[in-house]
Amino acid sequence: MREAIGATKLPLRILGFLCLFLLHQTGSVLEVTAPSPHVAQKGSDTLIPCTFRIDPFPADPKLLNIKWNFNGQIRLSCTDSEVSTTDPRFSLNPNSALLGEASLSVSNAQISDGGTYSCSVTYGTEWQEKEIRLEIQAPPQINITNKLVTENKESTLSAAITGFYPVDIDIKWLREGEILAGGTELPPQRNADGTYRVTSTVTIVPTEGNRNQIFSIRVQHESLSAPLQEDFQLLYEAAPMMNISHEPFYVNEEQTLMCRVWGYYPEDIAVSWFLNGSRVEPSEIKRINSSALELPYRFLPTAESQGMEISCVVEHRALTEPLVQSLKVELTDAEWSLTKRIVVGILISLVAALCLGFVVLKLKGRCCSATGNRRGAEQPTELQPLSPPRAADQQRSRATQNEDDECSQEEISSRDPQELMATSNGAQEGSESAAAETQRDQGTHPPSEEEENVGGGDQESGD
């Protein structure tokens, strides 16, 4: 019995010696460390940490085996410094692994990469495994979808918060830094990439005093180190104004009607032409600027067009109902219109000719007055007896008349119409002076007392 027990103890001692020998060959006891959880931003390159310790370093690659599992499936393995992976975005540095670095590198991390990973390290006969939870976060983005309001009417501000993960999020609306009551969010929706989106709204009644105030939307999310906030000012709607311009309607004479619209905000607007209630195809819209446009419509009246209704209709979000302006087609007799235009043209020409002739006469009288004054200055101061005009005097009179005519023509040609009209009153006075001079030259004016005395003396001498 004792011999049997002694025979059993001998193999156990040998086994113990073998274990000590192997521990001496492979080093001290294997120890794996992997902190959890690990947080990474969506789209970033991250390193899921996993390290191990043995003694001594470096490890023997033939004894070292590293595996990474995700949700029960192998994502990467490293055996004898050879790395194999099921996803090219996952990698491990085999040289660093010999020094105890078994961390898994993940490039372009996605929401689907989040979850529980296991890092398994085998060295010789030793084996250890640690679990690490990878949490992927995505920060939200703010897009204000409506800040357009109508003064003194209920208006809704809205914003889309997109691209965030995980789903929990806090949203607040503010005015001048003070939180607005009544903000609501629709249930979050999942995007194709695993992130979430949500729409937030708040209803206000804007006044004139809100025009220059600062409104804000503030978002808090665990992916953010500080709240995300976007400030804005309200945009007030402006209703459009319009008018239609056109010429008189003549049978078989095409014309272009123009519908002008202006003063509206925002820029989105719809303008249409209607003929007797039916929409017609207009020409292309001509945009003058962001708040004004013109829409032409080419219309050919016929005899049947009398009484037709042509309308321009404007639709805009600032309007509670479409803005409409209409006109009735009233045909005009083309022959009578042509005759009327000819008569009017002739009358205008006659009036212009009469005015010009009147101005010419005024100027001529003024020039004659100046010539008469010069002749009067040349006459002797002594009184001479009256005598019949001689041939030389008649010739001089004709020369003076020609000189006056030339003077009038030159003065008329050198003056502009405004000067001609301005001197018309002066010409009238000159004409009266010239008439008096002419009477004096021709002896038609009543003789003075001295002339009568001289005349009487001559008569007595004659007797």
Let me know if residue 379 belongs to a domain: no
What confidence tens digit (pLDDT) does each residue in 414-437 have? Answer: 555 455 444 444 544 544 554 444
Q: Is the pTM of this model over 0.85?
A: no
Give the pLDDT confidence score for residue 378 in this predicted structure: 52
Report the chain's terminal Cα–Cα distance, integer Å: 217
Q: How far apart are CA 161 and CA 172, in angstroms?
A: 12
Give the pLDDT confidence score for residue 362 in this predicted structure: 79
CA distances from 64 to 21, 75, 210, 270, 362 (A): 18, 18, 70, 74, 127
Q: Which amino acid is at 171?
A: I
Give the pLDDT confidence score for residue 456 in this predicted structure: 45
pLDDT band with cut points at 50, 70 and 90 for residue 452: very low
CATH of the domain at 73: 2.60.40.10
Domain of residue 166, residue span: 141-236
What confidence tens digit (pLDDT) does each residue in 203-232 have? Answer: 999 999 999 999 999 999 999 999 999 999
40/118 same-domain check: yes
Give the pLDDT confidence score for residue 363 in this predicted structure: 80
Percentage of residues of the chain with pLDDT beyond 70? 71
- Domain boundary (108, 137, 166) is at 137
231/255 same-domain check: no
pLDDT at 462 over 50: no
270/321 same-domain check: yes
80/164 same-domain check: no
Give the pLDDT confidence score for residue 338 in this predicted structure: 56
Let me know if residue 249 belongs to a domain: yes
178 vs 339, higher pLDDT = 178
282/225 same-domain check: no
Give the pLDDT confidence score for residue 128 in this predicted structure: 96
116 vs 459, higher pLDDT = 116
448 vs 310, higher pLDDT = 310
Residue with tokens 């965030």: 164
Per DSSP, 208 falls in state G
Q: How far apart are CA 430 and CA 364, in angstroms?
A: 9
Which of 262, 269, 278 minimizes the C-alpha distance to 310?
A: 278
What confidence tens digit (pLDDT) does each residue in 219-275 have? Answer: 999 999 999 999 999 999 999 999 999 999 999 999 999 999 999 999 999 999 999
Give the pLDDT confidence score for residue 281 in this predicted structure: 83
Let me know if residue 150 belongs to a domain: yes
- What is the mean pLDDT of the segment spanning 70-91? 94
What confidence tens digit (pLDDT) does each residue in 20-72 have? Answer: 444 445 455 899 999 999 999 999 999 999 999 998 889 999 999 999 999 88
- The number of C-alpha atoms within 13 Å of 450 and in the hemisphere containing its C-beta is 5
- Domain boundary (301, 332, 363) is at 332
30/119 same-domain check: yes
pLDDT at 444 over 90: no
128/44 same-domain check: yes
Let me know if residue 302 belongs to a domain: yes
The runs of H, that is alpha helices, within 278-423 are 334-378, 391-414, 417-422
Per DSSP, 165 falls in state B
The overall average pLDDT reported for the chain is 81
Let me know if residue 393 belongs to a domain: no
What confidence tens digit (pLDDT) does each residue in 162-214 have? Answer: 999 999 999 999 999 999 999 999 999 999 999 999 999 999 999 999 999 99
Give the pLDDT confidence score for residue 202 in this predicted structure: 98
Q: How far apart are CA 67 and CA 85, in angstroms?
A: 10
111/152 same-domain check: no
pLDDT at 346 over 60: yes
Give the pLDDT confidence score for residue 335 in this predicted structure: 54
Give the pLDDT confidence score for residue 449 in this predicted structure: 46
What confidence tens digit (pLDDT) does each residue in 392-422 have? Answer: 455 555 555 555 555 455 554 455 545 544 4
Q: How far apart are CA 66 and CA 32, in angstroms?
A: 11
Question: Is residue 48 a contact partner of residue 104, using CB atoms and an 8 Å limit?
Answer: yes
268/358 same-domain check: no
- Domain boundary (137, 154, 181) is at 137
What 3-state DSSP class applies to 113? helix
Let me know if residue 74 belongs to a domain: yes
364/428 same-domain check: yes
130/29 same-domain check: yes
What confidence tens digit (pLDDT) does each residue in 130-172 have? Answer: 999 999 999 999 999 999 999 999 999 999 999 999 999 999 9
Let me know if residue 9 belongs to a domain: no
131/145 same-domain check: no
Give the pLDDT confidence score for residue 295 in this predicted structure: 94
- What is the mean pLDDT of the segment spanning 292-320? 93
Let me know if residue 406 belongs to a domain: no
Q: How many domains does the chain contain in total?
A: 4
What confidence tens digit (pLDDT) does each residue in 357-388 have? Answer: 888 887 877 766 655 555 555 554 444 444 45
